[in-house]
Amino acid sequence: MEQTLTIPALRALRRILRASDLGNRQLAAATGLAPSQLLVLQEIADRGQTTPTALSAALQFSQATITNICDRLVAMGLATRERGAEDKRRILLSATPAGREAIENAPDLLQARFTEQFGVLPQWEQAMMLAGLERLGDVLGIAAVDAAPLLDSGVIDRPAGSGG
């Protein structure tokens, strides 16, 4: 019985991985951004002006990851970084007009669809899916691997177009 379910399970996993890869490629083609970069840029734009610490907490990314992503967004001209007027130690991030345009041109992220669709499932079904995914992590021996809440198969602070 186990063998008959192995192949469909692997196919389901492969479909998820392919959908993630396809979404990442569409995003890169439309905006030149990786999913993590778009998420950070969206969060900056939504907040108007924010700090790296606030981004780190909101997105559950490490401070170092946020710093790397913001460095790239600033270098690409999609965000600005300036010192606070009252507290010069405070760094404030803002989206540029080009950054806002990139957000508008971005295709729908797979995780946005996941968040929307998963959120409307009954609580018991969400819990059941989470338990299955966590168990799958155990089966694959990756349960202890640190991962940000992001549907992206690569390193989350990699440069756009680097493939991983």
Domain-located, residue 123: yes
List, for residues 28-38, the tens digit of each pLDDT value: 888 889 888 99
Tell me how many domains the chain contains: 1
Positive or negative, the Cα torsion across 36, 38, 40, 42?
A: negative
Positive or negative, the Cα torsion across 115, 118, 121, 125?
A: negative
pLDDT band at 149 (very low <50, low <70, confident <90, very high): low
Residue 113 belongs to what domain range? 2-139
List, for residues 103-141, the tens digit of each pLDDT value: 998 888 787 888 899 999 999 999 999 999 999 989 888
For 54, residues 6+ apart whose C-beta sits below 8 A from its C-beta are 47
List, for residues 41-71, the tens digit of each pLDDT value: 999 999 989 999 999 999 888 889 899 999 9
For 126, residues 6+ apart whose C-beta sits below 8 A from its C-beta are 118
What's the pLDDT score for residue 148? 64
pLDDT: which is higher, 81 or 162:
81
- Look at the chain and count its residues: 164
Domain-located, residue 153: no
CATH code for the domain in which residue 40 is found:
1.10.10.10
What's the pLDDT score for residue 55? 92
Domain-located, residue 109: yes
Domain-located, residue 96: yes
Q: E-assigned strands of 7-137? A: 79-83, 91-95
Domain-located, residue 85: yes
Domain-located, residue 162: no
Domain-located, residue 30: yes
Distance, CA of 90 to CA of 123 (rounded, Å): 40
Domain-located, residue 148: no
